[in-house]
Structure 1
């Protein structure tokens, strides 16, 4: 790869990192072709962009980015796949699902809305993060709950009055 090609690749990666809130870095080395294809399909269905990247180029793109990736560049060793998603827990759930069948992919690190997670031990916590839609659903449920109890109590009271008559 020539210097010019490397420069273009770094610019492309920097552009991909711009404005992104969820980035996972995983080790997918050792996966056979069928498993890799299955992983790519699962990512595509979940609206997650999966791309194998060169560590040095990604590290330089992180440096050039406006975002603060902290120590995330320290995990850039060996084979690295970058997963870019819109939901914070999407890639973690896919990784966990694939880990039921084997030992890979391994989570190297994640960047989620300026928070840095390093190490595979964070996978369960990342998978448990609720998406925005889930949080909104819970809030709506909590707001509806008192109103539903009042309506149920009123209906129950009306039923008792009819029986008494």
Structure 2
């Protein structure tokens, strides 16, 4: 690879790091071509982009990035593939599901919404992270619940109140 080609790859990676809030670094070494193809298909279905990258080029792209990747650059040893996703937990779910049948991919680290996770032991925590849309849905549900209770109480007590008033007016008459 020429110096110009490396420079273009670094520029491209730097742009992708800037555009994505959710970045996973994994090790998929040892997977045969068919298994890797299955992993790519699973990623595609989950809206996750998967690329195999050279550690030195990714390290340079991380240095050029405005984001603080902290300890993630220390994970750039051996084979590295990078996953990009709009949803914070989508790559983790793909990895977890894929590992039901295979030993790989192994999570090296992740950058999710400005938080850095290092090590495969964080996979379960990453799977359980809620997406922005899920959190908004939960909040809307919580906000609607008390309003529904008030409306329901008013409807039922309105009938009771009318019945009490009617009974009282009949007693007077």
TM-score of the superposition, structure 1-length normalised? 0.91
Q: Does 1:76 align with 2:85?
A: no
RMSD: 1.8
- CA distance in 2 between partners of 1:91 and 1:9 (Å): 23
Partner of 1:13 in structure 2? 13
Distance 1:152 1:89 in 2: 37
Q: Unaligned stretches of 5+ in structure 2?
A: 168-173
Distance 2:70 2:125 in 1: 20
The residue that corresponds to 2:41 in the other structure is 41
Q: Which runs of 4+ in 1 moved over 2 A?
A: 32-35, 151-165
SS at match of 1:23: strand
TM-score (norm 2): 0.87
C-alpha distance in 1 between matches for 2:50 and 2:28: 11
> 1:156 and 2:152 equivalent?
no
- Give the Cα–Cα distance (whole angstroms) in 1 for the partners of residues 155 and 110 of structure 2: 51
Offset at 1:60?
A: 0.8
Report what 2:171 is aligned to. Answer: none
Shift of 1:138: 0.4
Q: Which residue of 2 aligns with 1:136?
A: 136
State the number of aligned residues: 165
Instruction: Provide Cα deviations, 1:24-77, integer angstroms capped at 9, x if missing partner.
Output: 000111222222112111211222111000111100111111211111011011
Alignment of 1:70-149 (within 5 A): 70-149=70-149
Structure 1 or 2, whichever has the larger Rg, is 2
Q: What's the offset of the Cα at 1:162?
A: 8.5
Equivalent-residue separation in structure 2 for 1:114 and 1:157 (angstroms): 50
